[in-house]
């Protein structure tokens, strides 16, 4: 975080804030949380679907954090689970720094399938998790950011939507929707000191993408893209005191 951001966000004691990273018990989200744990000026809250993995992540982060670290089980497929997350945030300083990292891609479990054979319920479930409930979480956090006249948001998208990666229409469409969400947040709240950015990674080298990379070798990056590289880009955007008027859309 830059000196300018610290000044903006800490003009008085009431500006102490919470950092929230969703989907952070492993992978890119955990890599982001590792980096933010050493710099976050207040509580760090991470979410995940599995309690045991979340507990392990919190224990690892606690040793490197200057402030409290809390893990909250949250399955973003369900709005009630997001409500439980919001309830768990009560009593903490307002969330003024958010990395919205949750995103499901059914192709990792089921393999690619063309648009004509994609199940409607699967398509709808993917959009609900990746878009509708991301919107819902943001809509509940934005009032506190407006009141503080400060906020940094990074949405995690994907390069898949730009290329229309074959076999994963639901994921491609869901990630394209984040462009409109990011632009709307900036146009509506940018004047209130709230910045919103979108990071679009290519296919990341990890266990979750192994099946996809095996089936679609042409989708491999010319240079391997690691989870750590994506995390560094996200944290750099959070620390950008000179945010562009409409936020940045960063393709990796």
Catalytic positions, written as ranges: 171
DSSP 111-171: --B-GGGS-HHHHHHHHIIIIIHHHHHHHHHHHHHHHHT-EEEEEE--THHHHT-TTBHHH
> Would you give the DSSP letter of residue 25?
S
| Closest residue by Cα to residue 102 from 23, 200, 181 | 23
30 and 206 in contact (C-beta within 8 Å)?
A: no
For residue 236, what are the contacts with CB-CB under 8 A and spacing of at least 6? Answer: none
- Buried b / exposed e over 55-81, threshold 16 CB at 10 Å, is ebbbeebeeebeeebbbbbbbbbeeeb
Instruction: Say how far apart CA 169 and CA 161 lie, in whole Å.
Output: 9
| Closest residue by Cα to residue 21 from 164, 191, 231, 228 | 231
Q: Report how far apart, in Å, the C-alpha atoms of 160 and of each of 112, 120, 220, 223 are.
A: 13, 20, 12, 16
- Lookup result for tokens 């809390």: 70
- Lookup result for tokens 């979340």: 54
């Amino acid at each position: 975080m830059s000196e300018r951001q610290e000044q903006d966000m800490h003009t008085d004691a009431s500006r102490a804030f919470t950092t929230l990273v969703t989907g952070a018990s492993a992978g890119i989200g955990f890599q982001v949380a590792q980096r933010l744990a050493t710099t976050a000026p207040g509580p760090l809250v991470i979410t995940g679907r599995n309690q045991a993995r979340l507990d392990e992540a919190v224990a690892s982060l606690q040793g490197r954090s200057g402030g409290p670290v809390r893990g909250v089980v949250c399955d973003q497929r369900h709005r009630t689970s997001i409500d439980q997350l919001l309830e768990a945030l009560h009593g903490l300083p307002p969330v003024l720094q958010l990395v919205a990292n949750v995103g499901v891609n059914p192709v990792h479990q089921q393999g690619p399938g063309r648009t004509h054979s994609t199940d409607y319920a699967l398509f709808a479930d993917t959009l609900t998790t990746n878009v509708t409930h991301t919107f819902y979480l943001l809509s509940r956090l934005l009032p506190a950011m407006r009141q503080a006249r400060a906020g940094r948001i990074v949405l995690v998208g994907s390069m898949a939507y730009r290329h229309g990666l074959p076999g994963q229409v639901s994921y491609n469409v869901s990630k394209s929707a984040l462009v409109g969400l990011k632009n709307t947040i900036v146009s509506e709240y940018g004047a209130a000191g709230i910045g919103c950015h979108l990071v679009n990674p290519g296919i990341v080298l990890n266990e979750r993408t192994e099946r996809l990379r095996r089936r679609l070798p042409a989708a491999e990056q010319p240079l391997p893209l690691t989870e750590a590289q994506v995390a560094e880009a996200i944290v750099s955007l959070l620390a950008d005191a000179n945010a562009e008027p409409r936020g940045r859309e960063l393709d990796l």
